[in-house]
Amino acid sequence: MAEAFTIHDHAARIAAFLDRHPRALVLTGAGLSTASGIPDYRDRDGTRRGRPPIHGPDFRKSDAVQRRYWARSMIGWPVLAQARPNRGHQAIAGLERIGRIGSVLTQNVDGLHGEAGTHGVLELHGNIHTVVCLECAALFPRAFVQGQLEEFNPQMAGANATPLPDGDASVEPTELASFRLPYCTCCGGTLMPNVVFFGDNVPPARTAIALEQMERADALLVVGSSLMVYSGFRFCRMAQAAGKPIAAINLGRTRADDLLDIKIEESAERVLPLALELLTRGSDQTDGDTPSIPLDGGIL
């Protein structure tokens, strides 16, 4: 019979991991933000839910795809805009403040790490709260574009739909042909969220920074990511090749399960605040009510 671990045991293992590896790179994914009300892409088996995502090349070449994207985003984005950092985001910011992590690399585009107060965060896939003109490269707040969308398409104001990840929504308007697109107020050009769409590559300069962060790190902590997308999984491959230990906090299977030294199948919102508390108290105070758990216990 497998040994049962409490939430405090899990937190103690993560605290010990970060105590040994204070320059750990923290890689976060959509599972971290579910407690903030933002839906995840995948189920516990790592299988993607719902319809296939819009691909960047299709968006840039097709007015019909742009209308579909912006119509759904007009309905879904307010849910994301109202999201606030949860205790997992706040704990990561706290770990940065006390010098127990090196840097944070996120696959999320929701901007919640920055809002929580994390300074050393690199948004690998961009930030959904910024929109870029494909012609002149002017940048606009997503809230400004929402104003355009609602002004141009009053027939869709107040529509109800199930929210989906990254400000999408499960709605298929029947009159997309009449849907008016937002436009750049500088040059009249086509607007696109300033994020890495499926089918597009992470900008080379951003990739170079992320790889440098992994090289500087003494370990890797994965939080809330199934690692099914290679842009995240590659960092586990790099850590393994360099002999750097890998820990993960994720509800469900990950693509890197066979590479992990520690796997905690729990909510980061529950584990990380306790780990932060243990590390803040100091090692001289963790021997009393918290069991000492070795880091070589393997995958739970």
186 annotated to bind ligand: no
Residue 89 · residue 113 · CB < 8 Å: yes
Whether 135 contacts 185, CB under 8 Å: no
Q: How far apart are CA 31 and CA 89, in angstroms?
A: 11
* Three-class DSSP category at 10: helix
Catalytic site residue from 10, 89, 125, 129: 125
**Contact (CB, 8 A) for 18 and 24:** yes
Structure tokens at 40: 């995840």
- The verdict on whether 113 is a catalytic residue reads no
Residues 61/64/65/67 CA torsion (nearest 10 deg): 120
Taking alpha carbons only, the member of 65, 80, 79 closest to residue 197 is 65
Spatial separation of the C-alpha atoms in residues 152 and 112, rounded to whole Å: 29
* 236 annotated ligand-binding residue: no
Tokens of 144: 């400004």
DSSP for 243-290, please give it: T--EEEE-SS--TTGGG-SEEE-S-HHHHHHHHHHHHHH-GGGSSSSS
Can you say which residues are annotated as belonging to the binding site for Zn(2+)?
A: 133, 136, 184, 187
Active-site residue set: 125
Give the residue numbers of the binding site. Answer: 133, 136, 184, 187
